[in-house]
Amino acid sequence: MAIQTIRGPLYYPVPPTAHAGAPSFSTSQFLIDAASEEADLVFLAPKTGNIRKIVWATRTVTTGATLDIRMETVLSGARSGSLVVTNANGAQIVADANDNVVFTTQLTADCPVTKGTAYAAVILNPAASFGNMQIAGFLDEERHYPRSRLNGTNVAQCLCVAFEYDDGTYAAVDGIWPVSTLVTTTFGSGTNPNHRALRFQVPFKCRVSGALVWCDPNNDWTLKLFDSDAAVVLASTAVTAINTSQNAGLMYVPFATSQSLLINTNYRIAVVPDGAGTVPLYEFTVETAAELDAFSGGQNCHLSTCNGAPANEAAWTQTLTQRPFIFLVIDGLDDGVSAGGARNVIIGG
């Protein structure tokens, strides 16, 4: 088998599309403050099965209420107002003090969905005793599909929504970022820990040319790719401080030489500050490790930290419910051709 160069980069995990400044929640786009107002998300089901729970979150809650969390059919590209099946909804009490709370609402009855079919997840204010609250949306994703709406009007940002199936699993819907919290970690060479990395596996043999890192490069730092032994540095690039007045954002950092990676093998790509300055690195959290499966890359992509040059795997600490905004840039893929000319066949998917 051989690695073949691809034209144009492939990113893994997939980054958001509207990364201007630091990552942030939308605080005004999904405000429901009147009777029967709603925020909804129209999406294609990522896999066939039964959705049991909907994960969603608030921002500021001025007045609480008992919301109706619903799975509806889609008509003419919008929520139809009709449940997919009887009782494919659940009541969620939101208290006045429930600012910035992640809710996992179980539906009264499991909702059967078919992969590739459109559905709408709806967060609905009651007609009486309605609330006044912001529903969490991720400001830095502006795809128009999956499509989020507020009271029937399209919103450029996406609702922070995830779907748990009846077997306890999640499946990623590209374009949705169901993060619980957004974290800015400002650290330096004297911080403990002083290595913050994406610990990852790739589901195919490939070659990486560098990474996208969401940070504020206002001081010097180095990007390091660690081998599967967690100690050997396969590639590194020193980044000189280049941001003194502009906003933070995604930064492409190339390696001098692309590096080949094995399938289903743990590697790390780390941000390591240099000198006396500090570097803000952006990260996010989820409520449970399983919820990372609602994101590209799944649970195999999570935060790993250590202090000083690591000697082995034991030197690193994993946080399975947190992930830095670091994305591999892939410039080559295995062609799947064996020495005898036969091709490997991947079964499943």
Q: Which has the minimum average pLDDT: 121-130, 253-262, 308-317, 339-348? A: 339-348
Give mean pLDDT, residues 270-293: 95
pLDDT at 342 over 90: no
Q: How far is it, in rounded angstroms, from Cα 122 to Cα 136?
A: 13
Burial of 345 (0-12, 13-18, 19+ CB in 10 A): exposed
Tokens (6 digits) for 42: 């129209």
State the pLDDT confidence band at 302, using cuts at 50, 70 and 90: very high
Q: How far is it, in rounded angstroms, from Cα 213 to Cα 327?
A: 7
3-state helix, strand, coil in the chain (%, to 5): 5, 55, 45
Express as a percent the part of the chain with pLDDT over 70: 95
CB 265 within 8 A of CB 201: yes
Q: What is the second-level CATH architecture of the domain 3-16+182-334?
A: Sandwich (2.60)
Which pLDDT score is estimated for 9?
85
The pTM assigned to this predicted structure is 0.91
Q: Which has the minimum average pLDDT: 2-16, 186-200, 329-343? A: 329-343
Give mean pLDDT, residues 304-330: 97
Region 25-176: CATH code? 2.60.120
Which pLDDT score is estimated for 257?
96
3-16+182-334 and 25-176: same fold? yes
pLDDT 10s digits, 50-107: 999 999 999 999 999 999 999 999 999 999 999 999 999 999 999 999 999 999 999 9
Q: How far is it, in rounded angstroms, from Cα 109 to Cα 70?
A: 11
Which pLDDT score is estimated for 246?
63
pLDDT 10s digits, 140-191: 887 778 999 999 999 888 899 999 999 999 999 988 999 999 999 999 999 9
pLDDT at 27 over 80: no
Which pLDDT score is estimated for 349?
32
State the pLDDT confidence band at 244, using cuts at 50, 70 and 90: low
Q: How far is it, in rounded angstroms, from Cα 222 to Cα 236?
A: 7
Q: What is the mean pLDDT of the chain?
A: 92
State the pLDDT confidence band at 2, using cuts at 50, 70 and 90: confident
pLDDT at 347 over 90: no
Residue ranges of domains in the chain: 3-16+182-334, 25-176
Closest by CA to 214, choosing from 60, 82, 21, 37, is 21
> Could you give the strand order of the β-sheet that contains 317-319, starting from the edge strand earlier in sequence?
233-239, 221-226, 267-273, 195-200, 302-306, 317-319
Burial 124-160 (b: 16+ CB within 10 A, else e): bbeeeebbbbbbbbbbbbbbeebbbbbeeeebebbbb
Q: Which has the minimum average pLDDT: 129-143, 194-208, 304-318? A: 129-143
Which pLDDT score is estimated for 1?
59
pLDDT at 319 over 70: yes
Question: 314: which DSSP letter?
Answer: G
Which pLDDT score is estimated for 297?
96
> 290: helix, coil or strand?
helix
Region of residue 43 (left: phi > 0; alpha: psi -120 to 50; beta: else): beta
Tokens (6 digits) for 173: 């819907």
Give mean pLDDT, residues 121-146: 92
Q: How far is it, in rounded angstroms, from Cα 181 to Cα 120?
A: 24
Give mean pLDDT, residues 244-254: 80
